[in-house]
Chain A
Amino acid sequence: MLGKTAGGLFWLFRYLERSENTTRLIETGFRIALTRPGGSDDEWHSVLQTAAVDQLYAARHGDVDQAKAIDFLLRDKENPSSVLSAIANARQNARLTRTALTREVWEAINDAYMGLKETLQRPVSPKHLPEVLGSIRQHSALVRGAMHGTMLRNDIFDFCRLGTFLERADNTARILDVKYYVLLPSVTQIGSSLDNVQWETILRSVAGARSYRWLTQGNITPKGIADFLIFDGRMPRSLRFAVRKIGSNLSYLEENYGQRHTCHDQINVLQARLQHGTIDDVFEEGLHEFLTEFLGDLGRLGGQIEQDYRFLG
């Protein structure tokens, strides 16, 4: 496979994952605003921060305001992480890698792009927001379904999965990091239950509220949430899960090509830390410090994969 194609697939699936994550962030912000009237601007600020576009937003719009924030996150072409930009980038990468995609996958991506371009021509009113966000998620589910149902399990598939899980691990770690302070055991909070809205925000942002409730029978604690999102191997958006997937896809490539690279050593270190670490260690070390280091390592891993598999030459 061409290095360029591998890179195109990797970014195609990073962008798809990003569009889904941004959608979920908007959904969460909107929900909080509905249930907590008056106090939502802070929430929008942390949403923008999680999407790593808070500075860009400030430069363009100044003060945080719900309507502007939603528009910026959903359809601003100047915002590279907006849903529309992410889908457009995903489709551009799909055009570049057409020869590596099945017709079903290409059509699902093309449909998503065409549908969204049409829907997002004008600002979306709060009345239509849930429906629009729902249809975006539906489109990405169709792409994923087409991919699982029609693509060969070969190196092409591996590069798609690498993009998906790198983006996902990055997203979950950033959600945790932006909110890490509410998860810290502070004097006042010891023994008391966590502010409902805060935990709900975190869990909703990773589509994990329901699962967490089931797993813990409603016993919600800050440490429990952090543990769930970092170490729970059953949770498909946890760091351990995502990193394990990155690890297996990299080892499939190693096996398939008979070539071992620096990225394989890097993922081993990362995997070991998440496999053997505990939430107590993390809190001991400091949650913020742990997440900062993790995000740094993940960034380096992405760069190394790009180099090892010659995405750019």
Chain B
Amino acid sequence: MTDDSRFFDEMTAGQPDPRAPYGAYATWFNGEDLKDLRQKNSDAESFFRRTGITFNVYGAAEADERLIPFDIVPRIISAREWAKLTKGIEQRVRAINAFLYDIYHRQEILRAGRVPRELIDKNEAFLPQMIGVSPPGGVYTHIVGTDLVRTGEDEFFVLEDNARTPSGVSYMLENRETMLQMFPELFSRIKVQPVGSYPTSLRRSLAACSPVACDGECTVAVLTPGIHNSAYFEHAFLADQMGVELVEGHDLRVQDGRIAMRTTEGYKAIDVLYRRVDDDFLDPLNFNPDSMLGVPGIMDVYRAGGITIANAPGTGISDDKAIYSYMPDIIEFYTGEKAILQNVPTHRCSEPDTLKYVLDHLPELVVKEVHGSGGYGMLVGPAASKKEIEEFRKKLEARPSNYIAQPTLALSTCPILTAKGLAPRHVDLRPFALMSPDKITLTPGGLTRVALKEGSLVVNSSQGGGTKDTWVLEE
């Protein structure tokens, strides 16, 4: 196995013997035949294709359903490591929620000068329609997918707080399902905390936030943009696992102050809508008038307490990349505690001195669009060609406030299975937190994304990344 001491390898940490969490796995692995394991890797692929776990690629007409490559070597986290992450994520989610309530009500944090007012006022992710609205149960962010990276034994950084409509949880569940099918013996040797109760927890957590208008049992539905959306599989999967309807905008209408879905027996009111449609497309009457994906008038119904929308509209203001750099302050302001998980140092290109620094150091930095997602529109300096850097420079100079820059982190690696055996590749981790009025629930594990190309730091599935099963060991 090749080793690059600049990066922390989660299996070996540069030592001959595996780190403790990987001990039992390494013993098992060494007793296996490489050819058999390679075969398992391709079995996994046909398993995914059969099950239909595919994603659609934007702008690719032919072969529009692709698989996210799966690697059979699990990413293993000890119970102790997980306990710390759990605390850190819970703290963050709680702070984000308090921040959102404050931003849409009294804006104490702006008055206190801890976050600059213009960052909110000029921000497209801030929804004036949400001012003064209190979401049912006080929950804004029902589902949060915090992106974490690791750089050392005890160093975890939060890369992004995905508080809008984080995706990927279906892969967390299906990856485990696949591993259980392919390596049952591993799970009897090594005690791994289960992830399978996520859909039940999700449904319970959503139903706990039912609106005032709900009488009796809470009806939950998942709103998808439709079959051509890149994450359609996940939307269908989650609806199916929760046992609730999967609806599109054209199945819904406003009726008697409620949002109702067209069923074979007439229209039926929905209490909680887990929407996988962006704010902008949610309501053509209140937001983007051209949207065909949403429901005209849903915002008015929402404000009047006729429906719960999860996540609440306007949560984007909390995971905005420009706000991100203030997260340590935000956490301290609302919880009175220091942030347990670190932020990546972030340069705000909107500040002239910082912009100059960023422009001078482009080859070392990662530059991201403030509103971008999915690895689109970003520059990874160390991996970019001179031409790419120069092209990006122009974009940056034209709209500096549209960008932030971060140092290139020495992302940890995990081994993947290659033709020659194990080889380290960079990984990140997205655990999923569910928030209900009385508690925050984290599923032990999450989605590990892995850059399959040697040396690559980009893990996004749209950019050639793959996934791994993520194990959190029992105590």
A residues adjacent to B (C-beta < 8 A): 1-6, 92, 95-96, 98-99, 103, 106-107, 110-111, 114, 155, 159, 253, 257, 259, 309-310, 313
Give A3 to B49 CA distance when docked, in angstroms.
29
Give A6 to B261 CA distance when docked, in angstroms.
13
Give A4 to B252 CA distance when docked, in angstroms.
11
A residues within 8 A CB of B77?
none
Q: Is the CB of A99 within 8 A of B236?
A: yes
Count of B interface residues, CB-CB < 8 Å: 23
- Which stretch from B19-27, B79-87, B242-250, B293-301 is at the chain A interface? B242-250
A residues within 8 A CB of B239?
99
29 A-B interface contacts by CB (under 8 A): A1-B264, A3-B264, A4-B262, A92-B227, A95-B227, A95-B232, A95-B236, A98-B236, A98-B240, A98-B246, A99-B236, A99-B239, A99-B240, A99-B244, A99-B245, A107-B50, A107-B52, A110-B50, A110-B51, A111-B50, A155-B264, A253-B264, A257-B265, A259-B265, A310-B263, A310-B264, A310-B266, A313-B251, A313-B262
A85 to chain B, nearest CB (A): 17
Q: Is the CB of A2 within 8 A of B262?
A: yes
The answer, among B49, B50, B237, B261, for a CB contact under 8 Å with A2, is B261
Give A2 to B239 CA distance when docked, in angstroms.
13
The answer, among A2, A99, A107, A309, for a CB contact under 8 Å with B51, is A107
Give A99 to B242 CA distance when docked, in angstroms.
10
Give A185 to B245 CA distance when docked, in angstroms.
55
Give A111 to B46 CA distance when docked, in angstroms.
10
Dominant secondary structure at the B interface? mixed
Q: Is the CB of B236 within 8 A of A3?
A: no
A residues within 8 A CB of B240?
98-99
Q: Is the CB of A106 within 8 A of B245?
A: no
Q: Is the CB of A309 within 8 A of B264?
A: yes
Which of A2, A114, A310 has most chain B Cβ within 10 Å? A2
- Name the 8 nearest CB pairs between A and B, nearest first: A98-B236, A309-B264, A99-B240, A3-B262, A99-B239, A6-B264, A99-B246, A257-B265
Closest chain A residue to B253 by CB distance?
Answer: A313
Q: Is the CB of B50 within 8 A of A310?
A: no
Which of B232, B244, B245, B263 has most chain A Cβ within 10 Å? B263
Q: Is the CB of A3 within 8 A of B232?
A: no
A residues within 8 A CB of B265?
257, 259
B115 to chain A, nearest CB (A): 41
Give A155 to B51 CA distance when docked, in angstroms.
24
Known: A2-B261, A99-B245, A107-B52. 20 other contacts (CB 8 A): A1-B264, A2-B247, A2-B264, A4-B248, A4-B262, A5-B245, A6-B264, A95-B232, A98-B52, A98-B236, A99-B246, A103-B51, A106-B52, A107-B51, A110-B51, A155-B264, A257-B264, A257-B265, A310-B262, A310-B264
B residues within 8 A CB of A3?
251, 262-264
B56 to chain A, nearest CB (A): 11
Q: Is the CB of B52 within 8 A of A110?
A: yes
A56 to chain B, nearest CB (A): 24
A154 to chain B, nearest CB (A): 11
Closest chain B residue to A4 by CB distance?
Answer: B251
B275 to chain A, nearest CB (A): 16
* Contacts of B212-249 to chain A: CB distance below 8 A: 227, 232, 236-237, 239-240, 244-248
A41 to chain B, nearest CB (A): 36
Which of A4, A6, A103 has most chain B Cβ within 10 Å? A4
Closest chain A residue to B241 by CB distance?
Answer: A99
Give A226 to B216 CA distance when docked, in angstroms.
56
The answer, among A2, A98, A103, A309, for a CB contact under 8 Å with B251, is A2
Give A122 to B237 CA distance when docked, in angstroms.
33
B residues within 8 A CB of A107?
50-52
